[in-house]
Amino acid sequence: MPLFRRGERKPGPESPASPEPAGPSADASLSPLRGVAAAQRPASQPVPDAAAVARFTANEGDLPCRQRGCPNHNGAPCNYVDRRGRRCDTSWCPNHWATIGGIVYCRRHAGTIAAIGYFEHPAGMPDVDNRAPSLVNWVARDLDPFVAATLVQCAEPGETFVREPVVSTYVDRAGGRRYERAWKLVDHTGLRLSVGVFVYGEEDVTIRVRVGTALVAEGVPPWIERRQRGLEVSAEVDRNQRALFYGFLQKHLLAAVRAQRAGEERFQER
């Protein structure tokens, strides 16, 4: 739509509009408003080439990779340091290391940091040989769709499903330090039902599942048991064993949730 200076008449049938002058200098001199508008319009920015964007890359080292069967000697050390100041003594090549924030870790300790988050523990990170946080996070991630569906389906009117995003740390009188991820149903009165997957720091190979305050299932994951015994299995056997393990946890978790909900209904009917 053409712009007009104050005092000019909008062209009509009796006064045809004058043609706009050509050229940038003429346009700016005859129409100050157009010059200001042109100056205020942001210049088009070139789209950056993805290949030209600087990306941080962890440096390779000259150490042998600790992955079983890997012949590479370009490994870098894991940078994990625990609350006692002890470092992880493993090294990994680019094919087998994990990085968080561009920093190299072994996969277990990358899992630990991903599970509990950065700087969440003022007393320091878990002991270097403690697999509990990463194991809890791994199993909770695999169980999440089943637990979420179970709690949402049994939720009563007014209840809301809540998922804890990270692994929390508790001090348990019975088993010491406990690492846990939980799912909850809450309403305006507070907590109504909770499900948790946890591992004790002093017994970091056993997964335990609770519904409310009751322990309903526990077991050592088959991949950890195989590692402890030095066993190798095919990918198909590994999938079958994992399916059996998770099916065991799901079966007892579902039965406990249903029993608790049924008990609440009987209590309300009294």
Determine the pLDDT at residue 166.
Answer: 86
Determine the pLDDT at residue 263.
Answer: 84
Determine the pLDDT at residue 236.
Answer: 96
Q: How far apart are CA 223 and CA 233, in angstroms?
A: 10
pTM of the entire predicted model: 0.65
Determine the pLDDT at residue 68.
Answer: 86
Give the tens place of pLDDT for each residue, 102-132: 889 998 888 888 887 755 555 567 888 888 8
pLDDT confidence bin for 35, thresholds 50/70/90: very low
Pick from 202, 164, 206, 161: nearest CA to 181: 164
Determine the pLDDT at residue 59.
Answer: 67
Region 129-149 average pLDDT:
92
Q: How far apart are CA 266 and CA 264, in angstroms?
A: 6
Positive or negative, the CA dihedral 220, 224, 228, 234 is positive
Determine the pLDDT at residue 58.
Answer: 55
Determine the pLDDT at residue 270.
Answer: 59
- What percent of the chain is modeled with pLDDT above 70? 73
Determine the pLDDT at residue 205.
Answer: 92
